Amino acid sequence: MTSDRLLSIEGLRVDLPSRSGSRERRTVIHDVTLSVDDGESVGLVGESGSGKSMTTKATMRLLPPGAKVSGGLTFRGESVLDYSRKELAAYRSRKVSMIYQDPRAHTNPLLTIGDFLVEGVVATGQMSRADALDQACALLVDVGVTDAERRMLQYPHQLSGGLLQRMMIVMALMPSPELILADEPTTALDVTVQSEVMAILAEQIRERSLGMLFITHDLDLAAAVTDTLAVMYAGVIVERGPSDEVYSKPRHPYTAALLKSRPSAVKVERLETIPGRPISAYEAGPGCVFAARCPFATEECREVRPALRQVGGRSVACHRAEDIASELFEGLSA
Amino acid sequence: MSTLTARLSSRRTRTGSVDKVVLVFGTVCGFLILMAVFGPLLAPHPPSQTDILATSQGPSGQHLLGTDSLGRDILSRLLAGARLSFLGPGIIVVVSATAGTALAIAAAWHGGWLDRGLNRVLNVMFAVPGILVAVLAAAVFGAGFWAPVLALSLVYIPYVARVVRSAAVRERRMPYVEACELAGLSAWRICTRHILRNVFPIVMAQATIGFGSALMDFGATSFLGLGVQPPSAEWGLMVSDGRSELLDGALQQSLSAGALIVLTVVSFNIVGERLSSRIGASG
């Protein structure tokens, strides 16, 4: 069933060496299971240090040396973890594209935009330079850049952040990939530019019916642009399901607490906070990763790690998902 | 309105301003290089023409800087000697900068054992005095132009490699390099087109500093009789030649050749140091 999935991650676990050179390892991802189909946008939401970016890095096999990866990671049924060097290069350069959080850091300041956009596809022999330049121009127009030819001759420092991020979108689309990994693509941008860039990205993805794994800490944004939402905490996916369902009726205490702690556009009141501090994956005990901060936690929660199970049309990793459902909805509708 | 324009334009000149020290010493360096290229053509007398009737003479209208113990015109020999004096360190700098940069980028790219190994080798090489290696090379290959050039090319590698390595490691960790890797660019291409391009100013600054010291070391080997051999004209050799006349009060040969060496070393060093501090290189 999962064999023809675009991207399928099953029980992914990643351990990194705690210091370079030492044998001791720290777990950064405990257990991530999610999948992306063709034309599907999946949002991966979580706070800093929850393992979102590590998940994308693992997907690209970009983990630092010494990292230990277990679990399944398949692309169209082929195990990415078993790819040879050559297959991996093709996978990275043609099938999956990445859009980064900070476009300025991800461009070589000494290359013009034109050189930067076409370099990848030309160097990997996918297109001639002339064809690539034509396509880059066409794509620039697609993402709403009016004077494409002039922009191609400019250097990164001459472009605004929003414009540069659109260049990154174009670069990601150049090799006609099947999957886009967007790692907080709008976080580094101005709020007003954010929505514009996001709209362009979502439109391009939809038009080409590409799969997208969208990493963000902005639950509202993720719910607005994705079909499926996965909420991550301390290296574990705690809830996964259709975006509108998860967003309107959370079944995991963490998701509910996140939704309650957003500022309201209409009411002025003190924000609700989640007690305690966010923990890193390696600090999690044997029980539920959220147990220490969860108002509903029982003895069982502290001792037995809950697995993802089907509750109310989505997967939830909570022992008490059924019992506390009504309490979670409370205060959300207001 | 006009004050604003004035302020804006003054701002522009400030950001684009040229360091006056670099301008002055850079010009000196330029003149010295021109002298090395065209010097032999400008020489008023054939540099090897002896005149036993006019030996060890002081400056005169016919011999602006006087003559040496064989009656050869010192100015002509200085002009002609500039070529060998610059060619030696020039080759040393080009070879050591190329090899050092290649090693440094390879180590920064690969990391791990290659990087650690290179660091150890560089540390050992730092401990060996350049002149000593040059003496050894002269013993093995025989004294001449090539022995010190070969030895010093090797000895100067660590000075370039250490500084470039630290810059390349910094560059290696830049997110854009990761983006290049993901785009499927080969390691060779990323290293040459992206990393090398970004560390190139540092290589140039190091090479400029290195040129000064290489010129001195190369001159020193000639002075010791291990490098360029008489009757060829070379500055270090001329300092050595003039020694025997010093006690007779004929300072002109050692003094003028020595002064040119000092001027060259100081000029290239200052320009190199200024460039490297402007780029912010560290090692």
Tell me the per-residue pLDDT of B151-162, one tens digit each, with 9 for 90 and over: 999 999 999 999
> Is A252:A317 a contact under the CB 8 Å cutoff?
yes
A positions 59-78 inside 8 Å of B (CB): 60, 62, 65
Cβ-based contacts of B114 with chain A (< 8 Å):
none
Query: Under an 8 A CB cutoff, do B197 and A171 touch?
Result: no
* pLDDT value, residue B248: 81
Interface test with B, best of A108, A111, A165, A184 (most B CBs within 10 A): A108
- pLDDT (mean) for A190-203: 86
pLDDT at B267 over 80: yes
* pLDDT value, residue B208: 92
Each residue of A139-194: pLDDT tens digit? 999 888 888 889 999 999 999 888 899 999 999 999 989 999 998 888 878 888 88
**φ, ψ for residue A242, nearest 5 deg:** -55, 135
pLDDT band, residue A2 (cuts 50/70/90):
very low
Measuring CA to CA, how many Å separate A176 from each of A80, A94, A127, A206, B24? 19, 7, 11, 13, 54
Each residue of B200-240: pLDDT tens digit? 999 999 999 999 999 999 999 999 989 898 888 899 999 99
* pLDDT value, residue B236: 92
CA dihedral B115, B117, B123, B124 (to 10 degrees): -160
Interface test with A, best of B182, B196, B197 (most A CBs within 10 A): B182
Query: Under an 8 A CB cutoff, do B197 and A92 touch?
Result: no
Biggest CA-to-CA distance, chain B: 77
Instruction: Return the structure tokens found at B65.
Output: 């800087």
pLDDT at B178 over 90: no
For chain B, list the domains and their CATH numbers. 82-279 (1.10.3720.10)
* pLDDT value, residue A148: 87
Query: Under an 8 A CB cutoff, do A120 and B178 touch?
Result: no
Interface test with A, best of B176, B185, B195 (most A CBs within 10 A): B176
* pLDDT value, residue B14: 46
How close does chain A come to B184, measured CA to CA in Å? 5
pLDDT at A45 over 80: yes
> Would an 8 Å CB–CB cutoff place A107 in contact with chain B?
yes
Cβ-based contacts of A60 with chain B (< 8 Å):
182
For the ranges A78-87, B5-14, B64-73, which has the lowest average pLDDT? B5-14
* pLDDT value, residue A332: 65
Find where tokens 């393992």 sit: A51
Measured between CB atoms, which of A62, A90, A94 is closest to B178? A62
DSSP secondary structure letter of residue A94: I
The contacts of residue A98 (CB under 8 Å, 6+ apart) are A56, A60, A172, A180, A181, A182, A183, B179, B182
Cβ-based contacts of A65 with chain B (< 8 Å):
111-112
Query: Under an 8 A CB cutoff, do B184 and A93 touch?
Result: yes
Nearest to A216, CA basis, from A5, A55, A59 = A55
Query: Under an 8 A CB cutoff, do A106 and B175 touch?
Result: yes
- pLDDT (mean) for A7-21: 83
CA distance A306 to A317: 5
> Is B235:B82 a contact under the CB 8 Å cutoff?
yes
The contacts of residue A284 (CB under 8 Å, 6+ apart) are A27, A30, A234, A235, A236
Query: Under an 8 A CB cutoff, do B197 and A60 touch?
Result: no
For the residues of chain B, what is the DSSP string, one character each? -HHHHHHHHHHHHHHTPPPHHHHHHHHHHHHHHHHHHHHHHH-SS-TT---TTS-S----SSSTT-B-TT--BHHHHHHHHHHHHHHHHHHHHHHHHHHHHHHHHHHHHH-HHHHHHHHHHHHHHHHS-HHHHHHHHHHHH-SSSHHHHHHHHHHTHHHHHHHHHHHHHHHHTSHHHHHHHHTT--HHHIIIIIIHHHHHHHHHHHHHHHHHHHHHHHHHHHHTTSSSPTTS--HHHHHHHHHHHHTTT--HHHHHHHHHHHHHHHHHHHHHHHHHHHHT---
Is pTM beyond 0.90? Reply is no
How close does chain A come to B194, measured CA to CA in Å? 7
Query: Under an 8 A CB cutoff, do B112 and A107 touch?
Result: no
CA distance B160 to A281: 43
Cβ-based contacts of A171 with chain B (< 8 Å):
183
CA distance B3 to B10: 10
> Is B44:B75 a contact under the CB 8 Å cutoff?
yes
Cis peptide before A109 (omega within 30 of 0): no
pLDDT at A206 over 80: yes
Phi-psi category of residue A106: left, alpha or beta, with phi > 0 → left and psi -120 to 50 → alpha: alpha
pLDDT at A79 over 60: yes
State chain B's mean pLDDT as an integer. Answer: 87
Nearest CA in chain A to B176: A106
How close does chain A come to B276, measured CA to CA in Å? 19
CA distance B186 to B166: 22
- A68: helix, coil or strand? strand
pLDDT at A334 over 50: no
> Is B60:B66 a contact under the CB 8 Å cutoff?
yes
- A3: helix, coil or strand? coil
> Is A239:A290 a contact under the CB 8 Å cutoff?
no
Chain centre to alpha carbon of residue A181:
6
Query: Under an 8 A CB cutoff, do B183 and A90 touch?
Result: no
How close does chain B come to A23, measured CA to CA in Å? 16
CA distance A156 to A134: 20
- pLDDT (mean) for A299-322: 87
Measured between CB atoms, which of B176, B186, B193 is closest to A105? B176
> Would an 8 Å CB–CB cutoff place A100 in contact with chain B?
yes
Instruction: Return the structure tokens found at B128.
Output: 């060996």
Pairing of strands A41-45, A211-216: parallel
Cβ-based contacts of B185 with chain A (< 8 Å):
119-120, 123-124
CA distance B21 to B247: 38
For chain A, list the domains and their CATH numbers. 7-110+155-329 (3.40.50.300)
Measured between CB atoms, which of B181, B185, B198 is closest to A119? B185
Residues of B at the A interface, defined by Cβ within 8 angstroms: 111-112, 174-176, 178-186, 189, 193-194, 197-198
Query: Under an 8 A CB cutoff, do B183 and A89 touch?
Result: no
- Which amino acid does the sequence have at A259? L
Nearest CA in chain A to B174: A105
For the ranges A93-107, A158-172, A314-328, which has the lowest average pLDDT? A314-328
CA distance B237 to B181: 52
pLDDT at B173 over 80: yes
> Would an 8 Å CB–CB cutoff place A120 in contact with chain B?
yes
Nearest CA in chain A to B113: A21
CA distance A256 to A290: 12
Each residue of A81-90: pLDDT tens digit? 899 988 998 8
Measuring CA to CA, how many Å separate B36 from each of B32, B47, B90, B213, B260? 6, 14, 11, 17, 12
CA distance B11 to B4: 10
* pLDDT value, residue B13: 45
Cβ-based contacts of B175 with chain A (< 8 Å):
100, 102, 105-106
* pLDDT value, residue A27: 85
Instruction: Return the structure tokens found at A276.
Output: 């305690």
- Which amino acid does the sequence have at B27? T
For the residues of A171-195, what is the DSSP string, one character each? HHHTT--SEEEEESTTTTS-HHHHH
> Would an 8 Å CB–CB cutoff place A199 in contact with chain B?
no
Neighbours of B189 (CB within 10 A): 13
* pLDDT value, residue A1: 46
